[in-house]
Copies of this chain bind each other. A is one copy, B any other.
Amino acid sequence: MRKNIFIVFAHPEPKSLNGALKDVAVERLTRNGHHVVVSDLYAMKFKAAADGADFLDRADATRLNYMEESRKAYEGDTQAPDIIAEQKKLNDADAVIFQFPMWWFSMPAILKGWVERVLAAGFAYGVGQFGNGRWGDRYGEGKLTGRRAMLSLSCGGPPWQFGVRGVNGALDDLLFPIQHGILFYPGMQVLPPFVVFQARRQTLGDWPSLKALYEQRLDNLFTDAPIPFRLQNGGHYDDKQVLKSNLGAGENGTRIHLVQTGDPPQRLP
């Protein structure tokens, strides 16, 4: 079935490995019958810094409260045009792929700026009811439910240094603020990341097998199982949004937020 796929690409060099992987995705997904849209943030010179210029009609021109202005502008249709354009691409998408090099254990600043500006208040956060034990619709709920998201990234180091005992910290832990805090937060289902380790050591000889591995992931974009993050409002957290004491046994890091075998089923209220 024809799906809409949105690729957010953040690398300054089109002829990079990241650029090549972005091209593979466009080609493969298009061949598979899907419709693909790319935001090439560097080529677009996407504005990275969230500031008062993001709002065409400020509620308070003397003091910037970014969240309040963001909500007002989102609801009143007075956001900067580049923000509106990206939100439309997100709304239209069935799946979103983020292609970027891991820089300093996170996404490039230009992509972080995209997150801050595009994921507006009332759109991606501050959604739903707050108060009386409700903390909004987030972590599995929100306006971006029904969409899948996947990180496709390169790392400089070898895989074992991103393992559970590796010196850099476990990759799942390093990506948790992004995969859980940015993608799952507004409701997207997050697929396991596609990762190229030791990116600078990749040779032309490595490329065919790397390309094939990525194509396999792209072919399974709508069938692979997402990371089983717990729903905020599915019954696993109490009304202060703390994990109930009978859950998460044996875990003490970010893995505590993954559903375990034998956990009670989650039900949205």
Contacts and interface: CB of A to CB of B under 8 A. Distances in A.
Interface in A125-178: 135, 139, 156, 158, 160-161, 163-170, 173-174, 176-178
Interface in A241-269: 241-243, 248, 251-257
A228 to B, nearest CB: 15
Copies in the complex: 2
Contact of A169 (B110, B116, B164, B257): B257
B110 A48 contact: yes
A108 B116 contact: yes
A12 B54 CA distance: 12
Interface stretch (A58-66, A81-89, A212-220): A58-66
A104 B126 CA distance: 12
Given A106-B177, A166-B242, A167-B243, A49 B160 contact: no
A171 to B, nearest CB: 11
Given A49-B42, A113-B48, A177-B174, A254 B108 contact: no
A27 interface: no
Interface of A: 12-13, 15-16, 42, 48-52, 63-67, 103-110, 112-113, 115-116, 119, 135, 139, 156, 158, 160-161, 163-170, 173-174, 176-178, 180-182, 185, 200, 232, 237, 240-243, 248, 251-257
Contacts of A166: 241-243
A160 B253 contact: no
A105 B255 contact: no
User: Closest 9 interchain pairs by CB?
Assistant: A253-B253, A109-B113, A105-B181, A48-B48, A105-B177, A109-B112, A167-B241, A165-B243, A13-B64
A65 B15 CA distance: 10
Given A49-B48, A253-B255, A254-B173, A65 B13 contact: yes
Given A12-B51, A169-B176, 15 more contacts: A49-B108, A50-B109, A104-B119, A105-B182, A109-B115, A110-B113, A112-B112, A135-B167, A158-B240, A166-B242, A166-B243, A167-B232, A173-B253, A174-B176, A253-B253
Contact of A181 (B112, B115, B168, B182): B168
Contacts of A168: 181
A107 B49 CA distance: 12
